Structures are given as structure tokens and as C-alpha cells.
Amino acid sequence: MPVGIAVIAVLVAGCSSNASSTVHLNWNYFFDSVFHPDSQIQNGLWLTVSIAITSQLIGVTLGTFAALAKMAKFRPFRIIANVYIWLFRGTPLVVQIVLFYFGLSVAHIYGWPTINFFGIHIDGAIQAGVFALGVNEGAYFAEIVRAGILAIDPGQMEAAKSLGMTYGQGMRRIVLPQAARVIVPPLGNEFNNMLKTTSLLVLISVPELYTVFNRKQGNYFAPFEFYLAAAVWFLLLTTIWSVIQAWIERKLAKGTAGSANAGPGLMDRLFGRTPAVGEDVPVISGGR
Amino acid sequence: MTLQKPGDLLGAIGGVPMPPNEVVVEAAGVEKWFGRLHVLKGVSMTVKRQEVVVVIGASGSGKTTFIRCMNHLEKIQGGRIFVNGHLIGYREVGGKLVEDREKNIAKQRQEIGMVFQRFNLFPHMTALQNITEAPLLVRKTPQAEAVEMGRALLARVGLSSKENVYPNQLSGGQQQRVAIARALAMKPALMLFDEPTSALDPEMIGEVLEVIKELAREGMTMIVVSHEMGFAREVADRVVMMDDGQIIEEGTPEHFFTSPTHERTKSFLSKIL
Ligand SMILES: Nc1ncnc2c1ncn2[C@@H]1O[C@H](COP(=O)(O)OP(=O)(O)OP(=O)(O)O)[C@@H](O)[C@H]1O
Ligand SMILES: [Mg+2]
């Protein structure tokens, strides 16, 4: 923490000493963007958060089905799931975004018309963006769900079956609820990523937070002030999310006293965790 | 079919679940391979209504595998297993065994209770929820009725005060008693036990065996894999000795205590007695 403050201090000092040269920084751009965000920034914020949430929900749903399909007895399900995961993890998200939006519409496959959702008009670019982010996330999330399911003792499904439950009933009532506890921490990290990854939608001009600042810096030719403000806003979003995440995990850990641990504290989440020597750190893969 | 006078424990589920046939289990020539490992080599066994069979045998002899085949947790490659007259896990099509539909297998399993060595309680559910889950979900028992039965079962296994406790707050012996209650809640006509006390600390073995003995006294049909010979002597109608995927000796508990014939049986018993 103090190091961070020092870095900022040096930056600010450096900037002001440069003021005499040709570079002139207008700090009002920065402070206004942060403390008096105009309607563009407010809308961008709202859009970023709602796109992230919607995309994450799509990703969780698709990922769960893909994980189940990947473990299915029925071979075609396994093949479909594997091809899906292979395609979306094997190609850049950037390419997926532009291909879905520009590619599909220019090829006259799907034109992304504006839709009216309970009185809210949702632009085609937003739909395409959410679609790309969600489908991409699903491919990664499938592996997280699969790891979560595999982490559950096979004896649980056997006990369920021995009581007359079908595979589906055992999955839904016995295995998945237990896997959920394993999945929640990596899910939190995925959403942290998602909040930031929405900025890629600048490519298809979705007016989310980053796009708004990108435009502003161009209009005023003040990249340092506006990009720094964008960074502050994203940092605020991910920090708020870390607080919520820590709270959720503490709640979940309470359900079964003693078994689950509460996961890293807020400080570890924000500044990274350095495990003590000899300490076992559970690793759940799935990051990109 | 007349029900027996409800005993203490089985009274909680409305009396002894009566198997419809005189013969409850009829296993004939069961063959099981794990890849190239021949684990069951033509095992046959008949268990009659209200009979208690204790299965003994060295580690790796196939005891667990055999009872897991009885509710189709393992596939078999040859032979037939009938429980309550139903061919377990398969349909016979032109003399060949074809695996049955999942729904039918699940239905067959409702009649067969199983208690595992490592309890396998559902950790995200309380003791009571562990017991009521399957009746609610599978048998569609009304909530109030399921809860009443669950409480009665918990009381009979001596765990009334643990109703709302999660498995990880229970001792091994308590967990196993909940697991037995959970299996009984489905009113099975047959109970399978796979070394129900071998994962327990010595001081907890007694409390679990007491429950199983009570079940035996009340007339539950059971197959128990166990090396507790004192227990076998008290409740077993028959003891079955398995060795290397085969049943090599069968008889009353007394027979095994006084005059085992097979060399492998003698050397095995000398190790556990
Ligand atoms: N899922 C499996 N895959 C491959 N081999 C297996 C599997 N389960 C059991 N076996 C093998 O089958 C043989 C019989 O195992 P089983 O568990 O039935 O023996 P057991 O008599 O119950 O032994 P124990 O007293 O140790 O419980 C052993 O050689 C074991 O290694
Ligand atoms: Mg065994």
C-alpha cells in the first residue's frame, strides 16, 4: 500500500515538473471524470456492469452444461462439448467479438437488429458483445465446473444411486451443490476478469466504460488524464467486487462449520497472496 | 402377505419391509472383470427372506465388488443376479444380457439399501435431511410424513438430538448410524453392508453393530461384509468365505468357529480371530 502511494506521488511530482515543457496535463479532466462523472461515464459504468453480469450468467450456464456434456456417457454430447471448448479457447476473444458482430452481419447470417427488452432498446453491438463474452466465458468455465464436480468423492454419487436416485437427480441434488462450494472462488475470479474484459467491446463501439474514456481522450487529446480515470473506475469496480466476493465466501463457509475454509482474506485478494513456506495452496485451474 | 409385528427399529418405517418372494437374492455364476483382472469367478449365492448372511474373506478377494454388483453399482460380464425376482441391471435379449434403462435400474435400487464403509453421508445436508432426501425426491413421500419418519428413525438409532447437525460434526459411529437410517428410510427389502465398522475407532464399533443386530432380530434380510466374528456368531444364519473371486466355504457361524475345512479359511480365521 505505501509503495503504491509513493509511486503515485512520484508520478504526480514528475508531471508537475514537466508542466514547464511542452506537455501540459489538465488534471481537471481526471478529477472531473472521477468525482463528477458526466452522463456518458455513468452510462458507461452501468453498461459495463450489466454486460459483465449478463455475460457471466451466460458463461456459467453454458459452462455448466458443457461440463456435464463433457462427462456424459452419450458420445455425441462429449464431442459437441469438446469442439465448443476447443474452438473458443483456441481462438482470441478479440477475433470472436469482431467475427460475431461484423462477420455475421456482413455475411448476412445475422444482422443483430436492435431488440426491445421490457422497454429498453438493446443495440445489436451490445447483444453481439454479450454473446461473444458469454460464449467465450462458457468455454473456460466448463473446465472450472468439471474440476469442481471431479473434486467431489465418487462415493457421493454412489450413495445417491443406491438410494434409487437417477444420475440426473444425484447430480442436481447431491453433487452439484457440493461442487458449487468448490466453484465459487474461481467464479469470483472469473467475474473480476469479466469486468475488465468488457473493455474489449471498444472494438465494436459498445459505449461501455473504456469506450467512453477512449473517445474522451481523443476528443480532448488528453490520454494520460482520461486513461488514468478509466483505470480508477475499473479499479473501483473490481475492488467492490472483491469485497462482495469475500463476503459471499464467508457466508458459504459458514454452512458447514469446519469443512470449508473461508478462503483468502480481502487483503490477500486485493494485493495478491504469498503463501507461507510449506503451506498448501489449493489450485483450481481455469484462468486463461 | 402378513407383516410381522413391527419391531423397535423397523417400526419407524411402518414395520418390516417384506420381500415379495421367499428367495430375496439369487445370484448365479456371476463373472466380473476389471479390465484383464478377473475379480469374480462364477459366484453364486442364495439369500432367503429374513436371512442374515455374513461375508468374510481376505482383502482383494472380491467381497465389495460382489455386493456392489447386487445393486448394479458394478456391471457384470456373466451370470445373473435376481433381487426380489428382478434381474438386476439387465434385460435378457435372446439369451444375452443388455444393460437396462437407467430409470429401471434406479427403481430396482429403491428396494436395496446399501451402507458403505466410509458412510458417504451428504455433507451439505443435516442428519435429518440426509434421511428424508431420497423419500422426498424418489418416492415422492409428502414432506410431513418424510420428516416424521426421519425423526422416528433418528430416535431409534439414538440420534434424536442430532437432527439438525451436519455430518462433519458427528463422530464416525454416529455418521454410520445416520447412514443406516438413511438407507432404511427407503423401506428396502434387502440391506447390504460393506464393512460398516472397519473405518471406525474401536470404541464406536459396538454402537453400530448394535443397530445392525437389532435389524437382524427384527427380521431384515441382510448381506453383511464384516470380519467381526463375534457379531457374525450372534446374528448370522450363514457365513460365506470368499477367496480370489470365489466362494470357497459356506456354513453356520459355529462351523467357522469349530471346524473350518478349507486351508485358506483356517489361515484367514487364524489372522482375524
Ligand atoms: N474399480 C476398480 N478397478 C479396478 N480394479 C478394481 C476396482 N475395484 C476393485 N478392484 C480390484 O478387484 C479386486 C477385488 O476388490 P474388492 O474391493 O472387491 O475386494 P474386497 O474383498 O472388498 O477387499 P477389502 O477387504 O480390501 O475391502 C481387487 O484386486 C481390487 O484391486
Ligand atoms: Mg471391500
Q: Are A204 and A129 in contact (CB under 8 A)?
A: yes
Counted domains in chain A:
1
Mean pLDDT of A165-184: 94
Q: Is residue B63 within 6 Å of ligand 1 at its C-beta?
A: yes
| C-alpha to C-alpha distance for B25 and B29, rounded to whole angstroms | 13
What pLDDT was estimated at residue B238? Answer: 96
pLDDT for B5 beyond 50 = no
Return the residue whose CA atom lies nearest to atom 24 of ligand 1: B59
pLDDT for B1 beyond 50 = no
pLDDT for A260 beyond 50 = no
Contact (CB<8Å) B120/A158: yes
Grid coordinates in use for A150?
471431479
Burial class of residue A22, CB neighbours in 10 A (0-12, 13-18, 19+): exposed
Q: Are B97 and B29 in contact (CB under 8 A)?
A: no
Distances (CA, A) of A148 to A9, A153, A180, A245, B109: 44, 11, 7, 18, 27
Contacts of A17 (CB under 8 A, 6+ apart): none
Please count the other Cβ atoms lying within 10 Å of the Cβ belonging to residue B93: 8
Mean pLDDT of B139-162: 95
Phi/psi at B182 (5° precision): -60, -45
| C-alpha to C-alpha distance for B119 and B166, rounded to whole angstroms | 13
**What letter would DSSP give residue A172?**
I
Give residue B237 CA to ligand 1 midpoint distance, Å: 26
Q: At what angle do helices A209-220 and A27-35 cross, to 10 degrees?
A: 150
Q: Give the pLDDT band of residue A141 (cuts 50, 70, 90).
A: very high
| Degrees, nearest 5: CA angle B81-B82-B85 | 170
Mean pLDDT of B82-104: 92
Contacts of A3 (CB under 8 A, 6+ apart): none
Specify if A32 maps to a domain: yes
| C-alpha to C-alpha distance for B62 and B64, rounded to whole angstroms | 6
pLDDT for A262 beyond 80 = no
pLDDT digits (tens, 9 = 90+) for A54-97: 999 999 999 999 999 999 999 999 999 999 999 999 999 999 99
Beta pairing partners, B28 = B80
| C-alpha to C-alpha distance for B256 and B232, rounded to whole angstroms | 10
Amino acid, single-letter form, for residue B253:
P
| C-alpha to C-alpha distance for B247 and B40, rounded to whole angstroms | 9
Give residue B116 CA to ligand 2 midpoint distance, Å: 10
Specify if A17 maps to a domain: no
Q: What CATH number should be reported for the domain holding residue A44? A: 1.10.3720.10
Specify if A86 maps to a domain: yes
What pLDDT was estimated at residue B124? Answer: 94
Q: Give the pLDDT band of residue A282 (cuts 50, 70, 90).
A: very low
Range scoring the smallest mean pLDDT among A256-265, B51-60, B110-119: A256-265
Give the helix ranges, DSSP H, for B50-171: 63-70, 102-109, 127-137, 143-156
Specify if A276 maps to a domain: no
Give how far the C-alpha of residue A257 lies from the chain's centroid of Cα atoms, to the nearest Å: 29
What pLDDT was estimated at residue B106? Answer: 97
What pLDDT was estimated at residue A11? Answer: 54
Amino acid, single-letter form, for residue A28:
N
pLDDT for A198 beyond 60 = yes
What pLDDT was estimated at residue B16? Answer: 78
Range scoring the smallest mean pLDDT among A180-184, B11-15, B211-215, B242-246: B11-15
What pLDDT was estimated at residue A281? Answer: 46
Q: Is residue B19 within 6 Å of ligand 1 at its C-beta?
A: no
Q: 3-state secondary structure string, A230-271?
A: HHHHHHHHHHHHHHHHHHHHHHHHHHCCCCCCCCCCHHHHHH
Reported as type and span, the H/E element at residue B251 is strand B246-251
User: Which residues of chain B lie closer than 8 angstroms to A163, CB-CB?
Assistant: 109-110, 133-134, 138, 182-183, 186
Facing B109 at nearest CB: one of A156, A161, A173: A161
| pLDDT, greater one: A80 or A249 | A80
| pLDDT, greater one: B42 or A105 | B42
Give how far the C-alpha of residue B197 lies from the chain's centroid of Cα atoms, to the nearest Å: 13
Question: B254 to chain A nearest CA, in Å?
Answer: 33
Specify if A10 maps to a domain: no
Q: Is residue B219 within 6 Å of ligand 1 at its C-beta?
A: no
pTM for the complete prediction? 0.84
User: With the C-alpha atoms ordered A41, A42, A46, A52, is the resulting torsion angle positive or negative?
Assistant: positive
**What letter would DSSP give residue B26?**
E
Facing A156 at nearest CB: one of B112, B114, B120: B120
pLDDT for A1 beyond 70 = no
DSSP chain A: -HHHHHHHHHHHHHHHHHTTSS----HHHHHHHHHS--HHHHHHHHHHHHHHHHHHHHHHHHHHHHHHHHT-SSHHHHHHHHHHHHHHHHS-HHHHHHIIIIIHHHTTS-----EEETTEEE-HHHHHHHHHHHHHHHHHHHHHHHHHHHTS-HHHHHHHHHTT--HHHHIIIIIHHHHHHHHHHHHHHHHHHHHHHGGGGGGGT--SHHHHHHHHHHHHT-HHHHHHHHHHHHHHHHHHHHHHHHHHHHHHHHHSTTTS---S-HHHHHH---PPTT----------
Q: Give the pLDDT band of residue B159 (cuts 50, 70, 90).
A: very high
What pLDDT was estimated at residue B3? Answer: 37
pLDDT for A22 beyond 90 = no
User: With the C-alpha atoms ordered A129, A131, A134, A137, is the resulting torsion angle positive or negative?
Assistant: negative
Considering only alpha carbons, which residue of chain B is nearest residue A153? B120
Grid coordinates in use for A219?
476528443
Specify if A13 maps to a domain: no
Q: Give the range of the structural domain holding residue A223, as residue numbers without chain letter.
A: 27-271
Distances (CA, A) of A96 to A220, B21, B256: 31, 63, 72
| Degrees, nearest 5: CA angle B159-B165-B167 | 90
**Among A234, A277, A251, residue whose Cα is nearest residue A185:** A251
pLDDT digits (tens, 9 = 90+) for B161-218: 999 999 999 999 999 999 999 999 999 999 999 999 999 999 999 999 999 999 999 9
What pLDDT was estimated at residue A256? Answer: 53
Q: Are B236 and B251 in contact (CB under 8 A)?
A: no
What pLDDT was estimated at residue A249? Answer: 85
What pLDDT was estimated at residue B9? Answer: 85
Percent of chain B at pLDDT exceeding 90:
89
Specify if A282 maps to a domain: no
What pLDDT was estimated at residue A277? Answer: 52
| C-alpha to C-alpha distance for B200 and B181, rounded to whole angstroms | 17
pLDDT for B258 beyond 60 = yes
